[in-house]
Amino acid sequence: MEALLDATIRTTFGKNEARRTRKAGKVPAVVYGAASEGASRDAVSIAVEPKALLKILHSEAGANTLIALKLDGVDTKVLVKDFLLDPVTRQVLHVDFYRIAMDRMLTVTIPVLLKGESPGVKVQGGLLEFVRREIEIECLPADIPEHVNVDVSTLMVHQGVRVRDVATNPKWRSLTDLDTMLVHIILAKADEAAATGDAATAGGSEPVVIKKGKKDEAEAEKKK
């Protein structure tokens, strides 16, 4: 997915200038990194429209959205590297954009989404435990997936899905360990306790053999 975002150059700097930019209805930002080998890596201070930016951040791809940043009539491919939110208003206070080259591999983190309903939960009464909600992958910018789907529709109790089970797309390679568990179905604690109790009861049903000591044997001889 690619989005367009207009930007303007900021010629003054500092906290006061950033406040003035926000009061003017824009979001202060910076773009840095080299888009190609030998290109300038200098950071450029810019300002962007908050509405267009929020639309990108709230999209399914979110910060992994490939953005064509239009600055002085030139489109530069960038990704959102980081952003700062106001803890009260949730407005975007500042954004860092990173220039990328379309022919060079990059590392991104993508979310894990669950699909289907587990019979281990619906029929067996188990609990679905979401162990890992995102994985790190390597791919070309044009091949960044919005997410990775994990199908749980066949999972029974004590079964799970690991990274190796979903890392099957030839366009990207998982950097997260392939043995990492993403989701599994476990027994509820009450069921585990009941199972443990049943095992203990079953173990206690065996006859108990009490060995006599020498004193007991001597008393038995006197009674004869």
Q: Is the residue at 221 inside a domain?
A: no
Neighbour-count burial of 215, counting CB atoms closer than 10 A to its CB (0-12 exposed, 13-18 middle, 19+ buried):
exposed
Higher-pLDDT residue of 62 and 188 is 62
Tell me whether residue 213 is in a domain.
no
- Predicted local confidence at residue 72, as pLDDT: 86
The enclosing domain of 74 has a CATH number of: 2.40.240.10
Q: CATH code at 141?
A: 2.170.120.20
Mean pLDDT of 24-31: 95
pLDDT tens-digit readout, 90-145: 899 999 999 999 999 999 999 999 999 999 999 999 999 999 999 999 999 999 99
Residue 212 has pLDDT above 60, yes or no: no
Residue 66 lies in a domain: yes
How far is it, in rounded angstroms, from Cα 109 to Cα 111? 7
Domain limits for position 140: 107-199
| Model confidence at 43: pLDDT above 60 | yes
**Continuous H helices in the chain:** 15-23, 50-57, 119-122, 163-166, 189-204, 214-223
Sheet holding 106-115, edge to edge: 148-151, 106-115, 134-139, 172-174
In a domain, 215, yes or no: no
